[in-house]
């Protein structure tokens, strides 16, 4: 009996160890991709379930599964809280053995996740967070940045509009670091292009009432009203600006961060005439149209892809190509180095490259929102005003002060 | 009079009514000792930080009857000061934790002086207002880096290499020691003569004053103690999650602390701990459920308020006929 008991005990111990030990038997040819995004808050439409769709499309298009790889995708919600995001990322890496963390709209959450990915030597594909320090002071050998960043947004919008005649500017700025840095960067570009900044007003974060700020902007008689804010603040200022007839009065409103899903929910009547920078629009060329139609068919709400979701597709595709070339995804730093070693080429951004600081380089565009009369159908929202070539779209390598660049 | 004496008696009596609590606490600490070998340690650490915070909050609301709606400011202060010292000045985390507690205590004393002058809903509103003030300081101040937050808090080796906090288990047991110290301190406070006076004030403040107790002094002390312990939890959390961010000082954090305490059982020693594990568990394990997390949390809250108002522990104790 006692021997039996011993055996039983040993057996139990074995089972327990097997349960606790990481199930990494097929590590060499299996991949887990964790899409950490906003599934419930203000960036749900920009990233959210659509980002998971984009990842799945990239897996299919890479053909990596035909090479014998099995790829698992998990979609996780960071609830726009940095601590939740950090915990979710750590858990995805420790327990689900995630090899890459993808998307993460909301820069604060991305910044909280970054040290964890670096410590665990995994890969971080940043597609939804726009802070330019992610490829500057906070750059890391474990990450690449495919989202349009604050530098590109400020320079695209500020430069292109000023060159096309919008010489005088007034800013409505969200009163926190992101808004202030957008205002400062954009203002500098406006002045460098021969324009003039007439003034600015600081609106508290998440204020419901923009009327006094909009009236000041209107009274300034500036040609362009720059909206250095994001999310709900941008939507509110555009809506209330339409009520005050700002665009009808001949002033142009220029939001610095806008998604096509925002335009969709605002409606063309309210959003018409807005000018802004984006790295992606579904109706740019045959390839983007084909990609977007496929995406739309798969997306639960039948939305067109945003620049965030397009970046998710592009970065995941490049990641999978690199993994396939290496034949091994365990060393995150190696995979990122491999991703940087060959040019990117995909349906959404065309041909491009990833720089030493992790910045993916592609052209960006200045768009103007069509009027309801100009629009030919659903999602026909933008007209192209200017193309900013890839070599001018992003911050020069030397100006970022990324420690990886010597 | 009778009510005051009734609540005071068990502490001086044979202590029979405390036995279930002591058994519960022993079981809890024993379970926490073995838990990291079965459950993901980082989830446990996060939950322990929130549990300590909920216990500190419970000290105030459950035993002194003061519903603070601004505890996020103490948590945020603790975590920001700790992260600031660690990130900007490269100080070891234990120093950061001490500084975080000191800062939260100071803030607790300052806000306490103002807040305890009012009662009921006005007290809650004053604490909420002061907490939002601190939130906007955190948004604007340069050392907090606004919405980007402070990161990474290096865990590393402390006490001359004696402890390596980058090892999950070593970090876990450090957090457990901090939690146990804070938790037992709260237990001691509640069962001290000081705690008895707090309960008397909660039950009937004018009567306690008529007995010669300076109610405001007691409330001030309870408020400051609660703030200090919340700051301790916040600073510890900054070390665990390796950053400090605006969500720590935002009013929704105060809301979750209240939710945890109510779900677990207000005015019970173990309730807030259970509540913290339930609410944090939902946030963590339902992360794949996306937008449903907030709906489920709301439903749990509604069910709690409608079906068991004493909270889980309170209701179980009442069913078993145990007086807490």
> Cβ of A95 and B40 within 8 Å?
yes
Å between A238 CA and nearest CA of chain B: 23
Distance between CA atoms of B153 and A83, rounded to whole angstroms? Answer: 13
From A8-22, A269-283, A356-370, B3-17, the region with the lowest mean pLDDT: B3-17
B-chain residue closest to A108, CA distance: B148
Give per-residue pLDDT as tens, A142-178. Answer: 999 998 888 999 999 999 899 888 999 999 998 877 7
CB A393 within 8 A of CB A302: no
Q: Are the folds of A27-148+285-362 and A151-278+364-393 the same?
A: yes
> Does residue B248 belong to the interface with chain A, where contact is any CB pair within 8 Å?
yes
Average pLDDT, integer, range A174-190: 86
**Which of B88, B136, B149, B243 has the highest number of chain A CBs within 10 A, making it the mutation to test binding with A?**
B243
Average pLDDT, integer, range B2-15: 43
Query: Which residues numbered 42-71 in B keep a CB inside 8 Å of some CB on A?
Result: 42-43, 46
Residue-level pLDDT at A80: 83
Q: Rounded to the nearest 5°, which phi and psi values hold at B313? A: -65, -45
**Which of B41, B233, B245 has the highest number of chain A CBs within 10 A, making it the mutation to test binding with A?**
B245
Average pLDDT, integer, range A77-101: 90
> Cβ of A87 and B42 within 8 Å?
yes
Residue-level pLDDT at A346: 94
Q: Which helix (H) or strand (E) holds B298?
A: helix B292-307
Give per-residue pLDDT as tens, B24-77. Answer: 999 999 999 999 999 999 999 999 999 999 999 999 999 999 999 999 999 999
Distance between CA atoms of A155 and A391, rounded to whole angstroms? Answer: 12
SS (H, E, C) chain A: CHHHHHHHHHHHHHHHHHHHCCCCCCHHHEEEEEEEECCCCCCCCCCHHHHHHHHHHHHHHHCHHHHCCEEEEEEEECCCCHHHHHHHHHHHHHCCCCCEEEECCCHHHHHHHHHHHHHHCCEEEECCCCCHHHHCCCCCCCEEECCCCHHHHHHHHHHHHHHCCCCEEEEEEECCHHHHHHHHHHHHHHHHCCCEEEEEEEECCCCCCCHHHHHHHHHCCCCEEEEECCHHHHHHHHHHHHHCCCCCCCCEEEECCCCHHHHHHHCHHHHCCCEEEECCCCCCCHHHHHHHHHHHHHCCCCCCCCHHHHHHHHHHHHHHHHHHHHCCCCCHHHHHHHHHHCCEEECCCEEEEECCCCEEECCEEEEEECCCCCCCCCCCCEEEEEEECHHHHCCCHHHCCCCCCC
Residue-level pLDDT at A266: 92
Residue-level pLDDT at B37: 92
**Which of A42, A83, A175 has the highest number of chain B CBs within 10 A, making it the mutation to test binding with B?**
A83
For chain A, the residues whose C-beta falls within 8 A of a C-beta of chain B are 20, 39-40, 44, 48-49, 74-84, 86-88, 90-91, 94-95, 107-108, 111-112, 114-116, 119, 131, 133, 175-178, 204-205
> Does residue B140 belong to the interface with chain A, where contact is any CB pair within 8 Å?
yes
Give per-residue pLDDT as tens, A38-76. Answer: 888 778 888 999 999 999 999 999 999 999 999 999 999
pLDDT at position A4 over 90: no
> Cβ of B243 and A87 within 8 Å?
no
> Which chain A residues touch B294 with a CB distance below 8 Å?
40
Give per-residue pLDDT as tens, B178-211. Answer: 999 999 999 999 999 999 999 999 999 999 999 9
DSSP string, B178-201: HHHHHHHHHHHHHTSHHHHHHHHH
Closest to B136 (Cα-Cα) out of B144, B148, B124? B144
Q: Which helix (H) or strand (E) holds B134?
A: helix B120-140
Residue-level pLDDT at A7: 58
> Cβ of B149 and A108 within 8 Å?
yes
∠ CA A39-A78-A232, rounded to 5°? 60
Residue-level pLDDT at A82: 87
B8 pLDDT tier (thresholds 50, 70, 90): very low
pLDDT at position A14 over 70: no
CATH architecture of the domain with range A151-278+364-393: 3-Layer(aba) Sandwich (3.40)
Instruction: For residue A174, list its beta bridge partners.
Output: A203
Q: Is the pTM of this model over 0.80?
A: yes
> Which chain A residues touch B276 with a CB distance below 8 Å?
none
A-chain residue closest to B42, CA distance: A87
Which fold is adopted by the domain A27-148+285-362?
A: Rossmann fold (3.40.50)
Q: From the list A49, A88, A205, which residue is nearest B287 (CB)?
A: A88
Q: From the list B46, B145, B147, which residue is nearest A87 (CB)?
A: B46
Question: Which residues lie closer than 8 Å to B51 by C-beta, 6 or more apart?
Answer: B179, B183, B260, B272, B273, B276, B277
Average pLDDT, integer, range B11-16: 44
Domain ranges of chain A: 27-148+285-362, 151-278+364-393
Distance between CA atoms of A313 and B311, rounded to whole angstroms? Answer: 47
Q: What is the ipTM of this complex?
A: 0.78
Å between B38 CA and nearest CA of chain A: 8
Give per-residue pLDDT as tens, A208-257. Answer: 899 999 999 999 999 999 999 887 889 899 999 999 999 888 999 999 88
Average pLDDT, chain A: 89
Distance between CA atoms of A388 and A395, rounded to whole angstroms? Answer: 13
Residue B125 CA, distance from chain mean position? 19
Beta strand pairing status for A70-77 and A100-103?
unpaired
Greatest extent of chain A over all pairs of C-alpha atoms, in Å:
94
> Does residue B139 belong to the interface with chain A, where contact is any CB pair within 8 Å?
yes
Give per-residue pLDDT as tens, B75-108. Answer: 999 999 999 999 999 999 999 999 999 999 999 9
């Amino acid at each position: 009996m006692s021997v039996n008991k011993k055996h039983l005990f040993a057996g139990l111990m074995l089972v327990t160890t097997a349960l606790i030990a990481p199930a990494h038997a097929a590590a060499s040819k299996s991949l887990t991709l964790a899409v950490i995004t906003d599934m419930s808050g203000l960036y749900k439409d920009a990233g959210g379930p659509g980002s998971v769709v984009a990842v799945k499309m990239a897996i299919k298009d890479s053909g990596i599964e035909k090479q014998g790889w099995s790829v698992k995708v998990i979609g996780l919600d960071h609830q726009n809280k940095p601590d939740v995001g950090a915990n979710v990322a750590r858990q995805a890496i420790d327990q689900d053995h995630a090899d890459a963390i993808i998307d993460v709209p909301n820069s604060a959450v991305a910044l909280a996740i970054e040290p964890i990915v670096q410590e665990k030597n995994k890969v971080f594909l940043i597609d939804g967070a726009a802070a330019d320090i992610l490829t500057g002071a906070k750059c890391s050998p474990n990450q690449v940045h495919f989202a349009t960043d604050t530098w590109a947004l400020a320079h695209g919008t500020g430069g292109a509009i000023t060159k096309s005649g919008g010489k005088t500017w007034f800013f409505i700025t969200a009163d926190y670091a992101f808004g202030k840095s957008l205002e400062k960067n954009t203002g500098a570009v406006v002045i460098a292009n021969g324009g003039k900044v007439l003034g600015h007003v600081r609106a508290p974060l998440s204020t419901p009432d923009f009327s006094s700020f909009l009236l000041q902007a209107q009274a300034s008689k500036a040609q362009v009203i720059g909206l250095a804010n994001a999310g709900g603040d941008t939507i509110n200022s555009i809506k209330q600006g339409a009520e005050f007839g700002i665009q009808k009065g001949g002033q142009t409103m220029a939001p610095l961060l806008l998604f096509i899903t925002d335009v969709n929910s605002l409606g063309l009547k309210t959003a018409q005439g807005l000018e802004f920078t984006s790295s992606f629009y579904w109706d740019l060329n045959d390839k983007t149209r084909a990609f977007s139609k496929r995406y739309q068919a798969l997306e639960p709400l039948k939305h067109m892809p945003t620049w965030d979701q397009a970046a998710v597709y592009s970065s995941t595709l490049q990641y999978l190509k690199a993994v396939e070339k290496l034949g091994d995804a365990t060393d995150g730093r190696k995979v990122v180095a491999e991703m940087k070693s060959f040019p990117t080429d995909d349906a959404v951004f065309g041909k491009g490259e990833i720089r030493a600081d992790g910045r993916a380089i592609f052209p960006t565009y200045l768009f103007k929102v069509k009027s309801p009369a100009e629009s030919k159908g659903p999602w026909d929202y933008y007209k192209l005003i200017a193309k900013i070539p890839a070599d001018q779209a992003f911050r020069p390598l030397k100006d970022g002060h990324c420690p990886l660049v010597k | 009079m009778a009510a005051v004496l009734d609540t005071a008696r068990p502490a001086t009596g044979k202590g029979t009514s405390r036995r279930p609590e002591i058994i519960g606490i022993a079981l809890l600490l024993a379970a926490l000792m073995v838990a990291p070998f079965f459950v993901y340690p980082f989830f446990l650490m996060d939950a322990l930080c929130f549990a300590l915070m909920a216990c500190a909050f419970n000290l105030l609301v459950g035993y002194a009857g003061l519903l603070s709606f601004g505890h996020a400011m103490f948590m945020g202060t603790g975590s920001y000061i700790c992260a600031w010292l660690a990130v900007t000045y490269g100080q070891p985390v234990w120093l950061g934790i001490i500084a975080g507690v000191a800062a939260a205590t100071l803030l607790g004393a300052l806000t306490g002086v103002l807040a305890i002058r009012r009662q009921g809903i006005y007290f809650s509103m004053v604490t909420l207002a002061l907490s939002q003030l601190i939130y906007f300081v955190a948004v604007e101040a340069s050392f907090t880096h606004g919405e980007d937050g402070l990161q990474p808090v290096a865990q590393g080796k402390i006490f001359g290499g004696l402890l390596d906090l980058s090892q999950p288990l070593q970090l876990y047991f450090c957090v457990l020691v901090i939690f146990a110290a804070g938790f037992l301190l709260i237990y001691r406070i509640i069962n001290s003569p000081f705690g008895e006076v707090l309960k008397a004030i909660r039950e009937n403040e004018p009567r306690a004053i008529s007995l010669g107790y300076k109610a405001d002094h007691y409330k001030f002390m309870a408020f400051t103690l609660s703030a200090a312990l919340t700051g301790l939890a916040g600073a510890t959390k900054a070390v665990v999650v390796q950053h400090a961010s605006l969500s720590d000082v935002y009013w929704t954090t105060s809301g979750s602390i209240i939710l945890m305490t109510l779900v677990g059982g207000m005015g019970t020693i173990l309730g807030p701990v259970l509540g913290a594990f339930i609410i944090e568990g939902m946030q963590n394990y339902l992360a794949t459920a996306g937008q449903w997390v907030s709906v489920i949390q709301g439903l749990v809250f509604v069910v709690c308020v409608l079906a068991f108002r004493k909270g889980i522990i309170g209701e179980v104790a009442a069913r078993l006929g145990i007086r807490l």
